[in-house]
Structure 1
């Protein structure tokens, strides 16, 4: 692996932090507040849920489309909350904006879980939405509301919502105790629903959901992930006991996942890092969570004999599949969290004959962040609006189409195709959006059609918030 080093290159982590958080304002659905800073965006989807006589207005569009997919949205919220829980003191003046980004999601999730025995998991028809290229302010595709219930359960999405609510309750309890208590109470109720009525939402809705955000590795990881977060928020032994009693369910046949995975679908590595720090299993010898956390670390480090990831010539971590920066950033977040924890307990990690100090983990995480900010062979940032060279033609409807201010008339479903195929840069800068990133050879084709590399997503941005906050404070 070659790490690019330029004496003249100096990252502005503070600017990256501000923009990374600002991005979430560009993804807002619903009635925008007077404090909205990304002013080319306007109100949208103001009647979500009306067909079922419920209010489902709010939340976030997940990526470059106009659908509210609650599974990745909940993971995004959990990771934003984790960024505050572990790195809040480093957020500085951006802490308030991060609180607002989290509450935009939690207010929506409270609506989605307001009816006992029912959890709304998606708003919008993904297939029909993806057949159109139109602004969220104009969209006229069906806003179908999908909900799981006791007979058609969705444990993965319900449990992830519970995790998001619990993690967010920790964020708010120091200054809004009533709201925090409400979030934690709802988290418990939603977790009970997810655990009592177990099943995957893949089976409940099939193509309507699974084509876009299928649960590929089972829902047991989400149940343990939620229980671990509720324990961290409440310190109630029921939830720590649940994690210990059900740890075996992270293995086949219950789960198809790997202890070495982490993202919106698989929480395995995150569970082990989180629980290692929560010290649920301190009395166990050996501690299986820390053992597995060490295995994850050894699977990521470039010089480890058990490495299971790849690195580009420029030093970017790679996993198979699209939107690779979600892996580079998510893994880096776990590396930094574990580095700080193992520093406190004065622990080293052994990868075969190699002894790894915590500082090595933080160093690798920093290399990944610096690559994304511009320390790479193309000398470009993969954060829109950051530095003087960044992606100009991202796969994003609102960014690529003229704003309501510039073009007040409605743009119909296929009228946006002209702008999609245009060779011109997007007219609206979606500041802070992190795209899928370059290919394995450090090349990047700036093309809207190349969505695996050019599409931003909320779950790519969320863990980057904590990373850039820490490196901004400690540089």
Structure 2
């Protein structure tokens, strides 16, 4: 498969998700400025960041995880990004988030954790993000008795990882990102009372509920140690480290923490990394065509995340007893999503012979202005008029069946 093409198109997806004032070199012609008044009711500028999925909500928790992984990719595969002409694009993608996160932390003990939080309104409204009303764009504050230990620790991890990604390219920016990461970690994530963010931002209970925050605290500390070599963070990463998991996702970071700790910890964490990878080999539920089906609603992204860990584990432990099996399973996941299945179905919009044409996405499904948009464009059975290049759709069911319908 043409992995270079798939990578390039994934960068276009992020550009299609941008909120705020778009740059002159924006490459997605059907997108323009939006969400410019975000935060205005609180006298704070929160324009920027990314919309999540199909709608208008800026969920900072999964946004931060995506940014951490993108930065990890740059740190690990910078030369590949350069060779493929994608380094500038991925760095712009990372910086689009970090610029926004810096805005979200205007005071030492305050972090704005989300913009627009009513999923029922988000689901019912079907229009371009450029036509968003400034009304009801509520912002949600994490502070004091409204903690979000998990979310703010993930933001700290994202900023620390980004600081490493930028270190050889823009040293002053890297220093700023590291300092902001440290401030978020010490002033908010580690402050008491600690708690899951969904008890402070209750609208996420049915959408992005967190299962715990110890893994995020370990994840943040591990990235801060990688960025600074300060033993304080190494010790804290050990202290908060969770023993095992069977997924790697926006919610569960344990497998990533274990790979990072093994880089700089005298404790041998290979058995725990191997346990994760071998569980995927031996017990991970799979479709007949070989996709790890770890989540019924969004199997594609969970399989891709597992593939990332499997490939990193292979690179780190190439002589492990089952390392070649880890690699093969990781490659199979990516190839499946690009079309290596009985139906030749790609799950990446705009890629392959049979890509999805009706991703559930408001901006992509609306006709270009001045034409009006509305819920009828959610229901119509026809390809989206704007191609959402690089989007990874939810994926097939357990029987490898996929319905290309919004």
Q: Give the structure-2-normalised TM-score.
A: 0.96
> Is residue 295–residue 302 contact of structure 2 (8 Å, CA) maintained in 1?
no
**Alignment counterpart, residue 396 of structure 1, candidates 356, 361, 369:** 361
**Secondary structure of the structure 1 residue equivalent to 2:377:** helix
**Alignment counterpart, residue 334 of structure 1, candidates 309, 332, 344:** 309
Does 1:127 pair with 2:120?
yes
> Is residue 24–residue 101 contact of structure 1 (8 Å, CA) maintained in 2?
yes
Provide the rounded CA distance (Å) in 1 between the counterparts of 2:401 and 2:296.
Answer: 16
**Alignment counterpart, residue 96 of structure 2, candidates 86, 104, 108:** 104
Unpaired runs of 5+ in structure 2? none
Q: How does 1:440-455 map to 2 (within 5 A)?
A: 440-448=398-406
Does 1:267 pair with 2:253?
yes
**Alignment counterpart, residue 434 of structure 1, candidates 384, 392, 401:** 392
Provide the rounded CA distance (Å) in 2 between the counterparts of 1:64 and 1:246.
Answer: 34
Q: How does 1:26-425 map to 2 (within 5 A)?
A: 26-91=16-81, 92=83, 93-125=85-117, 126-140=119-133, 142-192=136-186, 193-197=188-192, 198-206=194-202, 208-215=203-210, 217-247=211-241, 250=242, 259-276=245-262, 278-280=263-265, 282=266, 284=267, 287=268, 289-301=269-281, 304=282, 307=283, 309-343=284-318, 347-348=319-320, 355-356=321-322, 358-403=323-368, 407-408=369-370, 411=373, 416-425=374-383
Please list every run of at least 4 consecutive aligned residues from structure 1 whose deviation after the TM superposition is greater than 4 angstroms: none
Which residue number corresponds to residue 461 of structure 1? none
Provide the rounded CA distance (Å) in 1 between the counterparts of 2:395 and 2:239.
Answer: 39
String of CA shifts for 1:82-129, please: whole Å, max 9, x gaps: 111111111121011000000001100111112210111100133322
String of CA shifts for 1:260-299, please: whole Å, max 9, x gaps: 22101111122112222x222x2x3xx2x32211110111
Q: CA deviation at 1:409?
A: 5.5
Provide the rounded CA distance (Å) in 2 between the counterparts of 1:368 and 1:447.
Answer: 23
> Is residue 259–residue 292 contact of structure 1 (8 Å, CA) maintained in 2?
no
Q: CA deviation at 1:205?
A: 2.6
String of CA shifts for 1:219-249, please: whole Å, max 9, x gaps: 11111110001111111100001122333xx
Provide the rounded CA distance (Å) in 1 between the counterparts of 2:345 and 2:201.
Answer: 41
String of CA shifts for 1:303-358, please: whole Å, max 9, x gaps: x3xx2x11111111111331111111000000111111113xxx41xxxxxx31x2
> Is residue 138–residue 410 contact of structure 1 (8 Å, CA) maintained in 2?
no
Distance 1:184 1:84, change over 3 A: same
Provide the rounded CA distance (Å) in 2 between the counterparts of 1:430 and 1:112.
Answer: 28
Higher relative contact order (CA 8 A, sep 6+): 1
Q: CA deviation at 1:361?
A: 1.7
Unpaired runs of 5+ in structure 1? 1-10, 252-257, 349-354, 449-475
Provide the rounded CA distance (Å) in 2 between the counterparts of 1:185 and 1:65.
Answer: 32
Q: CA deviation at 1:378?
A: 1.1
> Is residue 215–residue 240 contact of structure 2 (8 Å, CA) maintained in 1?
no
**Secondary structure of the structure 2 residue equivalent to 1:212:** coil
Which residue number corresponds to residue 11 of structure 2? 21
Provide the rounded CA distance (Å) in 2 between the counterparts of 1:272 and 1:61.
Answer: 30
Provide the rounded CA distance (Å) in 2 between the counterparts of 1:44 and 1:153.
Answer: 29
Provide the rounded CA distance (Å) in 1 between the counterparts of 2:235 and 2:304.
Answer: 31
Q: CA deviation at 1:377?
A: 1.1
Provide the rounded CA distance (Å) in 2 between the counterparts of 1:218 and 1:108.
Answer: 25
Provide the rounded CA distance (Å) in 2 between the counterparts of 1:320 and 1:430.
Answer: 23
